[in-house]
């Protein structure tokens, strides 16, 4: 089973000049590798099935961990 990490940001243009970022990691990551990326992007170890949110300058970052089976995606085990 492989995993992808999906990141989306919302930012208020009146509060920051840094643009929002959206990112989908390459598929075929082991669960441990994907969880490590979640930790780096969310600032904490993933608990529950997510998504996880983090306050960022001028907005919020949402990080999701999804099982990748071809075109099929699902949430990780809790």
Over residues 8-35, the pLDDT tens digits come to: 999 998 888 888 889 999 988 999 999 9
User: Is the Cβ–Cβ distance between 76 and 50 less than 8 Å?
Assistant: yes
26-74 residue pLDDT tens: 988 999 999 999 999 988 887 888 899 999 989 999 999 999 876 444 5
Residue boundaries of the structural domains of the chain: 2-74
Q: What is the 3-state secondary structure (H, E, C) of 14-64?
A: CCCCCCCCEEECCCCECHHHHHHHHHHHHCCCCCCCCCEEEEECCEEEEEE
Which residue carries 């669960």 as its tokens?
31
């Amino acid at each position: 089973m492989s995993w992808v990490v999906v990141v989306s940001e919302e930012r208020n243009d009146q509060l920051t000049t840094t643009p929002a970022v959206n990112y989908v990691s390459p598929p075929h990551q082991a669960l441990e590798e994907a969880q490590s990326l979640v930790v780096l992007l969310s600032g904490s170890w993933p608990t529950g099935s997510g998504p996880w949110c983090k306050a960022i300058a001028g907005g919020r970052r949402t990080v999701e961990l999804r099982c990748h089976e071809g075109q099929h995606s699902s949430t990780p085990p809790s």
